[in-house]
Chain A
């Protein structure tokens, strides 16, 4: 029987399943199975380095341990501080850049391309080259700071007070273009007649910004920040390349701590519980994100 004849009788639904089948299988294998396995492991005292030892069911013990450990709480605060400052800076600078690029001027397209460039780089690459930029002896960052304000030699990555700011600066540098692009899309969706009507009513530029621009762009900005919030909550690669969570544990975010518990201390059951907690938080965040996105679509 020829292939053509064999598939002739397939319904539209069957053809649809035939197309999405491989993707569904792949998702089940690389997403759902590890997730279910991790949830299962989170209820056991499994240690991945103790081969041959049967994991025993311990109930909610791992979850109670994680949620009562002060060290984990501290890592959450480091993550919160990182999220707060990056989101704040990205919102202000992103909106400012979007307002600037929304005007028509010579070189607008070129400037937009240049601003968007950092976003296209790999976080690991960004981490590596910012390590060079932050170098106290030969780094460009120290040179530029000292050019404007003589601070002498300082080590952004080596100091426990400066290192959290070092990762905030890099993340802001890398991801502000994303916020800017979303805000720019929001700004371009504002109809021009609103500004014309405001001009007729003798509204000042500031009033136009407060009563027209800001309410129009705010849902878009919120969407960008929610997305960045989710991403920064699970930030790992860039910070590992830049500081490895140090000095001490000054920049040890929740995800870095999770990796240490899982692959340095080999507490697989315990770290699975920690991972499930982070997953549920991100999943909850994701639901809020989808809700905000749907609201924007309805507008």
Chain B
């Protein structure tokens, strides 16, 4: 039980998930503002939204 708890803690470490969300936000912003492909612009909002919601959730994860 204790091992399981520590495994969950290891998986849901704030640093990794918060960084992942930040990267998603930055990718989304790049997709929104880039001049290369229309499809990237189309999907940019969903990427930013996932990143932002992810950031709000993961910033509450334990250190």
Contacts and interface: CB of A to CB of B under 8 A. Distances in A.
Nearest to B30: A80
A70 B52 contact: no
Nearest to B50: A284
Interface in A63-98: 63, 67-68, 70, 73, 76-77, 79-80, 83
Nearest to B33: A80
Interface residues of A, number: 19
Nearest to A81: B35
Given A80-B33, A80-B34, A281-B32, A288 B41 contact: no
26 contacts: A63-B45, A67-B44, A67-B45, A68-B42, A70-B38, A73-B41, A76-B32, A76-B33, A76-B41, A77-B33, A77-B35, A80-B34, A277-B45, A280-B45, A280-B52, A281-B48, A284-B29, A284-B51, A284-B52, A285-B25, A285-B29, A287-B21, A288-B22, A288-B25, A291-B18, A291-B22
Interface of B: 18, 21-22, 25-26, 28-29, 32-35, 38, 41-45, 48-49, 51-52, 55-56, 59
A67 B22 contact: no
A140 B53 CA distance: 49
A291 B56 CA distance: 12
B27 to A, nearest CB: 11
B33 A79 contact: yes
Contacts of A288: 22, 25-26
10 A-B pairs with the lowest CB-CB distances in the bound complex, closest first: A80-B33, A284-B25, A284-B52, A287-B55, A73-B41, A77-B35, A67-B42, A284-B48, A277-B45, A281-B48
B52 A283 contact: yes
Given A80-B34, A281-B32, A285-B29, A67 B41 contact: yes
A288 B41 CA distance: 20
A62 B26 CA distance: 24
Contacts of A63: 45
Contacts of B59: 287
Contacts of B48: 280-281, 284
Contacts of A70: 38
A280 B49 contact: yes
Given A63-B45, A280-B52, A284-B51, A83 B25 contact: no
A77 B41 CA distance: 10
B38 to A, nearest CB: 6
A73 B38 contact: yes
Nearest to B34: A80
A85 to B, nearest CB: 13
